A and B are shown apart, each in its own frame.
Chain A
Amino acid sequence: MRRAVIAFTAFLGGLIFLLASGPATAWADGESVKGTLKSQGQPVTGVKISVTDEGGKPVGDATSNAQGTWEVPVPSAGAYKITIDQSTLPAGVSLRFKDRSTLTVQVFEGNARNVLFALDAATNQSGEKTPDGTAADDESDAYWGRVAQLAFEGLSLGLIIALGAVGLSLIFGTTGLTNFAHGELLAIGAFIAFFLNTTLGLHLLIAAPLAVLIAAAFGYGQDWLFWGQLRKRKTGLVSMMIISIGVALFLRYLLLFLFGGSSQSYAQYTAQEGIQIGPISATPKSLVIIAIDVVVLVAVGLALVYTRIGKATRAVADNPALAASSGINVDRVIRIVWAGGTAIAALAGILLGLSQTVNYQMGLQVLLLMFAGVTLGGLGTAFGALVGSLVVGVFIQVSTLWIPPETKNVGALAVLIIVLLFRPQGILGRRERIG
């Protein structure tokens, strides 16, 4: 027993030593306060933060860098007051709670304490107090300005979800597989682009299309070497669903293994000044993202309706046996659907990484939203997935008017459950699919 205790203690000591000197905390020699300033998922740069001790004696200042991060070392453990200089916030960004510009935090020994300032996009500056008696009118203006802004952001998010969901829905339609690893296909796309972009130093405009091509090959190979083989073995659908969970776990932690756990950004287009369009403030990149979304979605839609392979895809989704007997090579169609679905999922991941950050858990987070979109629109229908995802995206963002932003996904997931209660086939689904 004693030997085990000694060994265990030595082990723990070694672990603590290693952890303390590991790369994660190596830059935090001793105590400090740090944080990341973000508004709508965008880093906020050039904001001045000052730190004083409890008595008000200044300890240090910092300015947030291009990633929105700041750090101030402090001399010892204890309580510190952190003040954010609101006048240095860029236009269109403000503190969510104006009276909380100073926070008091406890810093423990050897601890780099994270301090969070909640920032919001201030959509309509005129909505703030006006000297004359028209405050009520302005307040209502500000409210609708905020609604418009959130609806715009929701549309942008919904389009990205839709890109991912179309692939999920097509794969479900043609193979019957509810792919729990589809979120990881987005994450992998985002990380391939991240690798090409930061490690190999390619410009994002080259890295992104390259990543989409690699993802297409990955999707093709995945069906050829893995899922196709499982179908040949006549593996059951529930079995395949649980296998996809294994695949998701494997891929997610492979990304953690390779790239680490922190959120990353691409080398280009990280922080951009918003431009004002009517009541909406949008960064140029968000407009480009929406344009790419729309173009790709329209292209996929047209391909499904008018091209031979698109028609074949819909035929296989409708009735694989009948499609096969009318001369369609079902396996080839499924393989192309996998390649295409993975490619647009990768594109969605890159766009999501561009509008927020690249993180190994992004796949899991967006997977449930895609499920919500797909179920809302009707399982197995590509156009239903599109409509459902847009509804989910807008609903998530607009719901932050009434519920705290960190719980915004709750609304979308609750809607998913309520829709199943009243219209299980979804908006565009057909009754016979739900069995």
Chain B
Amino acid sequence: MDWFLIFSRAFEAGIGSEAIIYCLAAIGLNVQFGYTGLLNFGQAAFLAVGAYSIATTVATFGLPFFLGVGIGLVLSVLLALLLGIPTLRLRADYLAIVTIAAAEIVRIIVRSVALKDTFGGTDGLQEFAHSFYALNVFPAGQYSILGGFIGFDHRGMWVLLVGWVLVALVSVILLFAMKSPWGRVLKAIREDEDAVRALGKNVFSYKMQALVIGGVIGAVAGFIFALSRSSAQPDLYSTELTFFAYTVLILGGAARILGPIVGAALFWFLMIFVKTGLEEAINKQVITFLNVNQVGAIQYMIIGLGLILLLIFRPQGIFGDKREIALDAR
């Protein structure tokens, strides 16, 4: 068992691009679920919209990269409006069902054979990240952190820099936004919608704003997802992505600025720790009753079990406050 390898890979994942992507996706959910109490189960759709906006604009139509970013932001606002209008007046589980359905619609459309020329079918799209990496401030080469314990190449370093700066930026904005009167209205809607309505606030409009902002942050996560891999593949944006983002959020603590950040880092550290650990144990014949192909399944079973146990025994996660989580909404 090479413990050095296991720990270095786990730490790399804890600060790596996966952590950034799930962190941003979970921050979006935090605005919607954590602060406002909206159950958006279609966050994957917003990531897909972000990723495919860049990919399609650059790879299919040959237009500039930043136009793709703009299109992604606009489309994610439109998608949020489209989902919000029919469902935000209804009970929580309707929004959940509609958003999960919308996420599947987006995924089925971008992977369809009929639109292969535009979206690339199940293979997805590649060759669109040149402009992004052309801005790279790191010269080509390998970079080691903590005396060689973990390391990334120059492309990885660029993704990390952009990603974590975005996370910090969004978090600081939200920190101030949630302390403002506007943020207090959102939290009040989570606690008692009718009371807020009685105070003369337009609940529907506030909920819609939360849905739009969370969706836009999701699209930003989608940008990073596509750019860090230089490819956009439809099946990465399945409903499971949304559920993992929820796990990240609940692990860190909903309705807390630090919740998604710590949640994402810890989630990916544990995921890769388990994965690399099991693979090492199997390769070194420490565990003989499993094979490497089963490791993925075990990883996901642990996530499912973790989500169940968290909600039963510690729904507030690491940082949260139990009274502040919208778990009784009907």
Q: Which A residues fall within an 8 A CB radius of B?
A: 1-5, 7-8, 11, 14-15, 18-19, 22-24, 176, 178, 230, 233, 235-239, 241-243, 245-254, 256-257, 364, 368, 371-372, 375, 379, 403-404, 406-407, 409-410, 413-414, 416-418, 420-421, 424, 434-435
Q: Judge whether B303 is part of the interface by a CB distance below 8 angstroms.
A: yes
- Verify A249–B240 contact, CB threshold 8 A: yes
Q: Assess A238 versus B328: contact at CB under 8 Å? Given A11-B5, A18-B283.
A: yes
Bound-state CA distance A61–B284 (Å) is 42
- A424 to B296: give the CA distance in the assembly, Å: 39
Q: Is the CB of B98 within 8 A of A420?
A: yes
- Which residues from chain A contact B301 at a C-beta distance below 8 Å? 249-250, 253-254, 257
Stretch of B61-69, B86-94, B175-183 contacting A (4+ beta carbons < 8 Å): B86-94
Chain B residue contacts of A241, Cβ below 8 A: 39, 93, 96
Bound-complex Cα distance A426 to B311 (A): 31
List the B side residues contacting A18 at CB < 8 Å.
283, 292
Which secondary structure dominates chain A's binding surface? Answer: helix
**A413→B328 contact, CB < 8 A:** no
Complex alpha-carbon distance, A26 and B212, angstroms: 49
Contact A407 B114 (CB under 8 A): yes
B327 contacts the other chain (CB 8 A): yes
The answer to whether A257 and B298 touch across the interface, beta carbons within 8 angstroms, is yes
Most buried by A among B4, B9, B86, B329: B86
Q: For B108, what are the chain A residues with a Cβ–Cβ distance below 8 Å?
A: 406-407, 409-410
Q: In the complex, what distance in Å separates the CA atom of A92 from the CA atom of B269? A: 54
The answer to whether B94 and A424 have CB atoms under 8 Å apart is yes
Residues of B within 8 A of A253 (CB): 297-298, 300-301, 304
Q: B307 — which chain A residues lie within 8 A by C-beta?
A: 242-243, 245-246, 249
Contact between chains at A1 and B96 (CB < 8 Å): no
Nearest B-chain residue to A19, judged by Cβ = B292
Within 8 A of A (CB), among B262-318: 279-280, 283, 291-294, 296-298, 300-301, 303-308, 311-312, 315
Residue among A246, A251, A418 with max Cβ neighbours from chain B (10 Å): A246
A178 with B114: CB separation less than 8 A = no
| Minimal beta-carbon separation of B104 from chain A (angstroms) | 6
Minimum CB–CB distance for B81 against chain A, Å: 13
The reply to whether the CB of B100 lies closer than 8 angstroms to some CB of chain A is: yes
CB contact under 8 A between A248 and B311, given known A3-B4, A238-B327, A420-B98: no
Whether B327 lies near A236 (C-beta < 8 A) is: yes
Task: List chain B positions with a Cβ less than 8 A from chain A.
Answer: 2, 4-5, 8-9, 39, 83, 85-87, 89-94, 96-98, 100-102, 104-105, 108-109, 111-114, 142, 144, 148-151, 239-240, 243, 246, 250, 279-280, 283, 291-294, 296-298, 300-301, 303-308, 311-312, 315, 326-330
CB B32 to nearest CB in A, in angstroms, measures 13
Nearest A residue to B101, CB-CB: A413
Q: Known interface pairs A178-B97, A257-B298. Does A250 touch B304 (Cβ–Cβ under 8 Å)?
A: yes
Residues of B within 8 A of A421 (CB): 85-86
Query: A407 — which chain B residues lie within 8 A by C-beta?
Result: 108-109, 112, 114
Find out whether the CB atom of A417 lies under 8 angstroms from the CB atom of B308.
no
Most buried by B among A250, A379, A421, A435: A250
Which residues in B have their C-beta under 8 angstroms from that of A406? Answer: 108, 111-113
Partner of B308, one of A176, A250, A254: A250
Q: Are A1 and B305 in contact (CB under 8 A)?
A: no
Shortest distance from the beta carbon of B89 to any chain A beta carbon, whole Å: 8
In the A-B complex, the 7 residue pairs with the closest CB atoms:
A250-B304, A249-B304, A246-B307, A236-B328, A236-B327, A1-B148, A246-B308
- Contact check, B97 vs A15: say whether CB atoms are below 8 A apart: no
B151 surroundings in chain A (CB, below 8 A): 1, 4-5
Central interface residue in B112, B148, B151, B312, by most chain A CB within 10 Å: B312
Given contacts A417-B102, A424-B94, contact A243 B5 (CB under 8 A): no
A residues within 8 A CB of B102? 413, 417
- B291 and A22 contact, CB distance less than 8 A: yes
B328 contact set on A, CB distance < 8 A:
236-239
Docked-complex contact A247 and B109, CB < 8 angstroms: no
Cross-chain contact A237 with B329 (CB below 8 angstroms): yes
Provide a sorted-by-A list of 15 A–B residue pairs whose CB atoms are within 8 angstroms: A1-B142, A1-B148, A235-B312, A238-B328, A239-B327, A241-B93, A242-B250, A243-B311, A247-B304, A252-B304, A256-B300, A413-B105, A414-B105, A417-B102, A435-B330
Q: Which B residues are CB-close (under 8 A) to A1?
A: 142, 144, 148, 151
Beyond contacts A2-B148, A368-B100, A410-B108: 11 other A-B pairs, Cβ-Cβ < 8 A, are A5-B142, A23-B293, A230-B312, A238-B327, A243-B312, A245-B304, A249-B303, A379-B93, A406-B112, A410-B109, A420-B87
Nearest residue in A to B276 (C-beta to C-beta)?
A11
Q: How far, in angstroms, from A60 to B189 measured CA to CA in the complex?
A: 68
Q: How far is the CA of A14 from the CA of B303 in the complex (A)?
A: 26
Chain B residues within 8 Å of A230, by CB: 312
Min CB gap B49→A, angstroms = 16
A432 to chain B, nearest CB (A): 11
Residues in A neighbouring B4, C-beta threshold 8 A = 3-4, 7
Chain B residues, CB < 8 A from A235: 311-312, 327
Please, which residue of chain B has its CB at the minimum distance from the CB of A253? B300
A19, A247, A252, A420: residue with the most chain B Cβ atoms closer than 10 Å? A420
Evaluate whether A243 and B94 lie within 8 angstroms (CB atoms) in the complex, with A253-B301, A257-B294 already known. Answer: no
Q: Residues of A contacting B292 with CB < 8 Å?
A: 15, 18-19, 22
Chain B residues lying within 8 Å of A375, measured Cβ to Cβ, are 94, 97
A410 to B105, CA, bound (A): 5
A424: nearest residue on chain B (CB-CB)? B90
Minimal Cβ-Cβ distance residue in B for A181: B304
CA distance A251 to B305 in the complex (A): 10
B78 to chain A, nearest CB (A): 14
Alpha-carbon gap, A3 to B144, bound state (A)? 12
**In contact, B329 and A248 (Cβ under 8 angstroms):** no
Which one of A14, A254, A404, A413 contacts B112 once the chains associate, using CB atoms below 8 Å? A404
Smallest beta-carbon distance B84→chain A, Å: 11
Q: Is the CB of A404 within 8 A of B114?
A: yes
Could you tell me the distance in whole angstroms from the C-beta of B36 to the nearest C-beta in chain A?
Answer: 13
Which residues of the partner chain B approach A243 to less than 8 Å between Cβ atoms?
307-308, 311-312
B5 touches A372 (CB 8 A): no
Contacts of A372 in B (CB 8 A): 101
Question: A239 CA to B2 CA in the complex, in Å?
Answer: 39
CB distance from B233 to the nearest CB of A (A): 16
Contacts of B9 in A (CB 8 A): 8
Closest to B247 in A: A246
Cα-based distance from A138 to B80 in the complex (angstroms): 47
**Nearest CB of chain B from residue A421's CB, rounded to whole Å:** 4
Rounded to whole Å, the gap between the CB of A419 and the closest CB of chain B is 9
| A250 nearest in chain B by CB position | B304
Residues of B within 8 A of A237 (CB): 93, 327-330
Within the complex, what minimum Cβ distance (angstroms) separates B236 from chain A? 15
Distance between A335 CB and nearest chain B CB, rounded to angstroms: 20
